[in-house]
Amino acid sequence: MGEFVSVEVADQIATIRLDRPKMNAISGQVQREIAEAAAIVDGDPQVQAVILYGGERVFAAGADIKEMAEMSYADMAVHSRLLQGCLTAVARIGKPVIAAITGYALGGGCELALSADFRVAGESAKLGQPEVLLGLIPGAGGTQRLPRLIGPARAKDLIFTGRHVPAAEALAIGLVDRVVPDEQVYTAALEWAATFVGGATVALRAAKQAVDQGLETDLDRGLEIERLAFSGLFATDDARVGMRAFAERSKPKFTGH
């Protein structure tokens, strides 16, 4: 894989690991490597769940401010597409994705966590969108994914103030889903990811797409997205295996077809 982003697969769980000392700043190179990693795990039929991890010390403290400070408007008009695109690639991975958050997940790091389906945080983790303190706004999905997750008023509080949110508050407002001792973050994410291994991967992909696409439209259109995805699954082997196993009171053995 890349210089700063790697993909490791074990027991059908892929870990996308950021490793750019000291704080996993998300530079242009890291953004490209994240997009490449997302494509790899999405296209690998052996991968059934994905973990985003920045290591024991920090998830990602944000974008590379030194790099961005040298950019003009014209530069950023082009670069912002890469910035958003790499996290959209993560959000569109057709498998359950869990962010394992240690230390700081700020700015682009918080936005990376928001692109996951679930978030597990350590007790001392801090999340936030501090871009306003630099005279900016979130540019990699923070103004869109954050209010969809925790509601507009709470999202505005975080974005307008730029404050760091401790793990306990993040859990209370729905910004993270679980809080565990710091040293257990990756293990907890791994255990959660393991619950999806052996599942109906085609149905999981369809469910994720239906939920995510449905949130982007009105209820009627969302119901139509669901209906088409639901009907389409009746053309899969997994659906036949699952329903037959239910009738026979046995455990289904899904094949991903």
Q: Say whether both 237 and 160 belong to one domain.
A: no
Q: Say whether both 181 and 240 belong to one domain.
A: no
Q: Say whether both 61 and 146 belong to one domain.
A: yes
Instruction: State the catalytic residue, choosing from 8, 56, 131, 226.
Output: 131
Structure confidence at residue 89 (pLDDT): 97
End residue of a domain, out of 152, 173, 194: 194
Report yes or no on 256 lying in a domain: no
Q: Say whether both 219 and 236 belong to one domain.
A: yes
Domain count, the chain: 2
pLDDT per residue over 165-220, tens digit each? 999 999 999 999 999 999 999 999 999 999 999 999 999 999 999 999 999 999 99
Q: Say whether both 205 and 190 belong to one domain.
A: no
Q: Say whether both 112 and 238 belong to one domain.
A: no
Instruction: State the catalytic residue, choosing from 36, 56, 70, 111.
Output: 111
Report yes or no on 23 lying in a domain: yes
- Order of all β-strands in the sheet with 97-101: 5-10, 13-18, 49-53, 97-101, 118-122, 178-180
Q: Residue 64: which pLDDT band, with cuts at 50, 70 and 90?
A: confident
Q: Do residues 50 and 10 lie in contact, with contact meaning Cβ atoms separated by under 8 Å?
A: no
pLDDT per residue over 91-123, tens digit each? 999 999 999 999 999 999 999 999 999 999 999
Report yes or no on 257 lying in a domain: no
pLDDT per residue over 133-160, tens digit each? 999 999 999 999 999 999 999 999 999 9
Q: Say whether both 165 and 206 belong to one domain.
A: no
Report yes or no on 72 lying in a domain: yes
Cα gap 24→5, rounded to integer Å: 10
24: left (phi over 0), alpha (psi -120 to 50) or beta: left
Residue 25 has pLDDT above 80, yes or no: yes
Q: Say whether both 95 and 221 belong to one domain.
A: no
Q: Do residues 100 and 125 lie in contact, with contact meaning Cβ atoms separated by under 8 Å?
A: no
Q: Say whether both 126 and 151 belong to one domain.
A: yes
Q: What is the dihedral of CA 212, 107, 196, 205, to 10 degrees?
A: 30
Radius of gyration of the chain (CA): 19
Structure confidence at residue 191 (pLDDT): 98
Question: Secondary structure of 157-182 in the HEC alphabet?
Answer: HHHHHCCCEEHHHHHHCCCCCEEECH
Three-class DSSP category at 228? helix
123 as an active site residue: the answer is no
Q: Which domain holds residue 228?
A: 201-248
Q: Say whether both 219 and 123 belong to one domain.
A: no
In the DSSP assignment, the letter for residue 25 is -
Report yes or no on 110 lying in a domain: yes
Q: Do residues 122 and 185 lie in contact, with contact meaning Cβ atoms separated by under 8 Å?
A: yes
Q: What is the dihedral of CA 149, 153, 154, 156, to 10 degrees?
A: 100
131 as an active site residue: the answer is yes
